[in-house]
Amino acid sequence: MKHRFPFALPPSGSSARLPALLLPVLAAAALLQLLLPYGEELPAAGVPARQKHIAAPPEVPRVMVPAALQGRGLFSPAAAPAAGVAAPSDVLGGAVIAGTVMHGRRLYAVVQERGGRIRHVAPGGMVAGWRIAGLTPSGARLQRGQEQFNAAYGAIPTGPAAPAPEDPEDGQ
């Protein structure tokens, strides 16, 4: 038997019957929404109706930049030390002790060299002519002959300070 309409409703037990019956209702609602005039008007530009007066924002204070900072680039290194004061030297030749890593039961210093190469050095190992005498939670103790100093993790060590007393627990 041929249907009179170009489409047929789904069978009565189908779950597609409800959307097919709601389609004309939704189409009528959309048409009604387009045909009815829009009743609300947008407010005029300017001061909102609820706030009669808006206070002006405070003026930004002017800051005078010192001449020493004004001529320097934003990301350039800090100014050179004053005349007569020796600049601290990088005793590890650009290497940085970045931290520590534990492998098994052994604790190693993570050393990043100037070229970006990363090494793991055990206590007693050498970094740029300095022996790692011990690893502490805050840094590594480096020793060369009678000279020794503590290098903080992540910082560029600038040189030995006064000799520190030997601590037998740090050599573990």
Cα 133 from Cα 36, distance rounded (Å): 86
Helix, strand, or coil (residue 21):
helix
Residue 172: burial class (beta carbons within 10 Å; 0-12, 13-18, 19+): exposed
pLDDT at 1: 57
Contact 112, 95 (CB under 8 A): yes
pTM to 2 decimals? 0.43
> CA nearest 149: which of 125, 131, 137?
131
**What's the confidence (pLDDT) of residue 76?**
64
Residue in the structure block whose two tokens are 């097919």: 20
Q: What is the pLDDT along the chain (172 residues), one digit of tens a residue?
A: 565 666 676 777 777 778 878 889 999 999 988 888 776 777 677 656 566 666 788 888 887 777 766 777 766 665 555 555 444 567 787 888 888 998 888 999 999 888 888 999 999 999 888 899 999 888 889 998 888 888 888 877 776 654 444 544 444 4
Helices (H) then strands (E): counts for the chain: 2, 7
Over residues 59-100, the pLDDT tens digits come to 888 877 777 667 777 666 655 555 554 445 677 878 888 889
Which pLDDT score, from 0 to 100, does residue 171 have? 45
